[in-house]
Structure 1
Amino acid sequence: MAVVNTKVEPALAAERLYDAILQATPDLVYVFDLDHRFLYANQALLSMWGRSWDEAIGKTCLELGYEPWHAAMHDAEIEQVKATRKPVRGEVPFRHHTLGMRTYDYIFTPVFGADGDVAAVAGSTRDVTERTQHEAHMRLLLNELNHRVKNTLTVVQSISQQTMRNSTSMDEAQDKIESRILALSKAHDILTRQNWQGAEISEIVRATTAHCQVCEHARFDMQGPEILLDPRRAVALAMALHELCTNALKYGALSSTNGRVQVQWRIADEPSMLYLEWKESGGPAVKVPTRRGFGSRLIEKGLGYEAGGEARLVFEPDGLACFISMPLATTATGDAP
């Protein structure tokens, strides 16, 4: 009859259990001896190195190919753990055998022997590349958001001041301010749907002119290629088109039942330039204004300052025309629906 050592069997079972757990975890798990040599490395760490255990056992970080500064840093941290008997934590870049450069968060902790002294130093390392990239991306987004909020507040402040200055009554000023801020909001809505990567010009034109479609039949003829505008130019163009729509409703083609507006755009020249034409017809006879209001200045100056472009208003007898040009960093991708 065989005699079973009841003390040895549970110890072996526990060892196999712990090893199974350590081999299953995606984290890198390892143990250094007091001379900084690897006593243990789980499969995740061996895979990261691209080595077998026979190639790694008993070697130091430097002998395994760590950069001298990196190996020296871990040597100092192991000595710190031995001296203080407390864990040390850090974060470091390291080149994975197959995944390339990654970012790792690690902790070294003391392993105490039966006599209470530090007998070894255990370590656990986690790949936090995606987390750090996400954090960096969030910081970038927050900085961009702060910048955009400041710019938007500046625009709102300018709109309010200029509108108040050029209005004859508080009611008129209130209506104009609300209308212009609503146009700004719609432009921001489009950009928000695109995560502020830009906006298609056809969507800007449709959204900006939607409130002008006051009749059953279409009042606009729109034609042009799909062009992605960056946020700054998208907002500038939306505000200019809003002013043109407002003017057309009050005094131009859209103030009569037969009036129409043609909006066409194209890309030409090198470097690429956007050319957009707004032409009204079928409305009241046009007279050249004796003074330029804030709306006209917003169109002409706003596009120049915000988009680096130009806007020219032409008061033709059969309808107002506006010719817009601005430099682009994108190219056409197809025809607008």
Structure 2
Amino acid sequence: MYACVLVAAGTGTRANLGYNKLRYLVNQKPLFWYAFKPFYDRGYEMVVVINPEDENFVRSYLPEDVKIVYGGKSRSESVRNGLTHVTKNHVLIHDAARVRIDDELIEQVENGLHIYKACVLSKRVTNTIYHKNSGLEILDRTFLYQAETPQAFITEEIRKAYTKNNPLATDDVSMYQSAFNDEVGLILHEKNNDKITYQKDIEMFEKEVEKHMIKIGHSYDIHALVENRKLILGGVEIPHQLGLLGHSDADVLLHAVAESILGALGLGDLGTLFPDTDNKYKDIDSKIILSEVVQRMKNMGYKVSNIDCSIFAEKPKLAAFIKQIKESVSTLLNTPQEAVNIKAATNEKMDAIGNEKAMAASATVLLIKGE
């Protein structure tokens, strides 16, 4: 039902990068990608307007079903070129430099199109504004609004407006109003939807992204030691006369690892996701449990940066098995071995662990956003 014309054909000279600022990589993705993704994820028909010299770079980041169109000498010409490739009844026109656009703002604009034939994402002006003529005249900010993008229209109407090419129009709404008298809806919001213009704007956005790129989780697990059970730690069977008691195979280390990841992601705990009241998890291999948790992590766009684990056991001595356990955990997490640390310690003969009645493990994990 909706299309988006994403305007990315500027040069970005004020950012002083020596190339189009929208190609600047933040967390291994170009700036334009952050403006593109929210629309694409909502199923929009995407028309991306670019400079010809950026084509190879842009294509390397976009899916094959995205339409790529060359821009013109002005923003108006670029938008006009993009509109010729739109096939949907409604179109949202968005500047790729507004990289903070999100689902909530897009949905507000979509709702505006249910009321108005055209609408614009906007903010109330809160600063004092002067009009300078012979002196300084204060403008009544009660009636002042700051226009942003996306700006949304019936496709055929905005396409018709752009054929008139009003040289005084400075954005899509002013172009629309040069051809139609319909009321334009102001979609007011208070979020940060500012454009990336200068290098300092890029630096600020990088910090914002990085703030949401890192998640930390911690977990501690303990199981009783009993006879007639295998002792499995980190997916490795350890020779010992006692094993760990549990509804699953009771791999205390993998439980701590899995739960630390769940904690980092805010997904609760193992008891909630794999309840010991459910017989389908009876004696389940904890490698399966961890694999399911890792898949959830991947689905949310995260991966393990590094993890630090401790096993607390009086006996057996685990030094000879640490390397094998580390390899196993590394494989299960799909992360390099150097990102995995496994330590073993006794409890100095204190409490249940020190009296060989239990074993415990802890894990602290750092997750980062990225493929």
Same fold (TM over 0.5): no
Q: Which has the higher contact order (CA 8 A, sep 6+)?
A: 2
Larger helix proportion, structure 1 or 2? Answer: 1
Q: TM-score, normalised by structure 1?
A: 0.25
Larger of the two Rg values belongs to structure: 1
